[in-house]
Amino acid sequence: MLDGKRITVVLPAYEAARTLALVASELRHVSVVDDIVLVDDASPDGTADLSESLGLHTVRHETNGGYGANQKTCYRVALERGADVVVMLHPDHQYSTKLVTSMAAMIASEEYDLVLASRITAQHNAISGGMPRYKFVANRILTAIENVLLELKMSEYHSGYRAFSQRLLATLPLELNSNDFVFDNQIIAQARWAGFRIGEISCPTRYDEDSHSIGLKRAMTYGWGVLATAGRYRLATWGWWVPSYLARIGPRAGTPVVVADGTPLGE
């Protein structure tokens, strides 16, 4: 619990058996965490069985539905189990679990509705942590374009470490988002459209042989999806065409969106 709010960590998992025990052990030492939910996307390596043996609340997908589909289940189950704050963390030990408390506190304070852990603003940035240079360059290019089209000033949009308020997750029509990796960008576009408050926190990262990373072909597909999401958002603000995952929310909200230092994004 934190400020009287129930904190749930969700782990969208696929083939995470090699790192899961370490991540679960670290999370159990985070005093504010009340619940840990793992959703296994039909992993062939026994991830779900291991999760159950570790005492995590485990949900199994009988078939592989994709990264976005996994997150949809994560958030639905977390809310059903009474979460007030949900922290989403990849279970491949790429991100530091020590930041769960800080990220949850930013949400529990009711100052923010969505917090992203940025690998870019960390003192030892993603490249020193092992991120391939082509992915770092792609990250910077995509982020620059997204900042222009979404009228934000974020350091990155592609982190797999995020925290959400119950209100945001209960409000946004997540079921209309992609079941693939571009889900991550669509939920930011939805949050921006609805006027939810977005913050960032610096996060060191590590890339090693157990870290999951999509291949070049999937990365290119993801990149095009990111550009399409940002482009559709801009068309929607002009009133030319509003995608269903934004239209269901209603008219664009006028609430200012802010970063961690209190600066309104887009100003």
User: Does any domain span residue 163?
Assistant: yes
pLDDT at position 260 over 90: no
What pLDDT does 253 receive?
73
Q: How confident is the model at residue 212 (pLDDT cuts 50, 70, 90)?
A: low
- Identify the helix (H) or strand (E) that includes residue 6: none
What pLDDT does 252 receive?
83
What pLDDT does 216 receive?
72
Q: How confident is the model at residue 266 (pLDDT cuts 50, 70, 90)?
A: very low
Burial class (CB in 10 A: 0-12, 13-18, 19+), 229: buried
Phi, psi of 98, deg, nearest 5: -65, -15
Q: How confident is the model at residue 127 (pLDDT cuts 50, 70, 90)?
A: low
Query: What Rg value do the Cα atoms of the chain yield, rounded?
Result: 17
Beta bridge partners of 35: 8
pLDDT at position 56 over 60: yes
| Separation of first and last alpha carbons in the chain | 35
User: Does any domain span residue 81?
Assistant: yes
For residue 207, count other CB atoms closer than 10 A to its CB. Answer: 18
Q: Give the CA distances from residue 141 to residues 36, 63, 157, 180, in Å, rounded to whole numbers and listed in that order.
A: 34, 34, 11, 21
pLDDT at position 144 over 70: yes
The least confident of 14-23, 55-64, 164-173, 215-224 is: 215-224
The whole-number average pLDDT for the span 126-153 is 84
In 3D space, the residue among 138, 223, 119 whose CA is nearest the CA of residue 180 turns out to be 223
User: Does any domain span residue 153?
Assistant: yes
CB 150 within 8 A of CB 188: yes
What pLDDT does 124 receive?
59
What pLDDT does 262 receive?
41
**Tokens of residue 126, six digits:** 């993603």
| CATH number (domain holding residue 148) | 3.90.550.10
User: Does any domain span residue 216?
Assistant: yes
- Percent of the chain past pLDDT 70, that is, above it, reads 87
User: Does any domain span residue 256?
Assistant: no
Between residues 24 and 253, which one has the greater pLDDT? 24
Rounded distance, CA 261 to CA 173, Å?
29
Q: How confident is the model at residue 255 (pLDDT cuts 50, 70, 90)?
A: very low
Rounded distance, CA 50 to CA 58, Å?
10
Beta bridge partners of 5: 2
User: Does any domain span residue 102?
Assistant: yes
Residue-wise pLDDT tens digits, 64-111: 999 999 999 999 999 999 999 999 999 999 999 999 999 999 999 999
State whether residue 163 is helix, strand or coil. strand
Query: Which residues form the domain of 82?
Result: 7-247
**Amino acid letter, residue 207:** Y
What pLDDT does 5 receive?
98
φ/ψ bin of 46: left (φ > 0), alpha (ψ from -120 to 50), beta (otherwise): left
- Percent of the chain past pLDDT 90, that is, above it, reads 79
- Residue owning tokens 């923010």: 112
Please give the tally of structural domains in the chain: 1
Report field, pTM of the whole predicted structure over 0.85: yes
For residue 251, count other CB atoms closer than 10 A to its CB. Answer: 10
User: Does any domain span residue 220?
Assistant: yes
User: Does any domain span residue 49?
Assistant: yes
Q: Which residues contact 67 (CB under 8 A, 6 or more apart)?
A: 12, 14, 41, 179, 180, 181, 183, 184
pLDDT at position 150 over 50: yes
What pLDDT does 215 receive?
67
pLDDT at position 142 over 90: yes
Between residues 126 and 85, which one has the greater pLDDT? 85
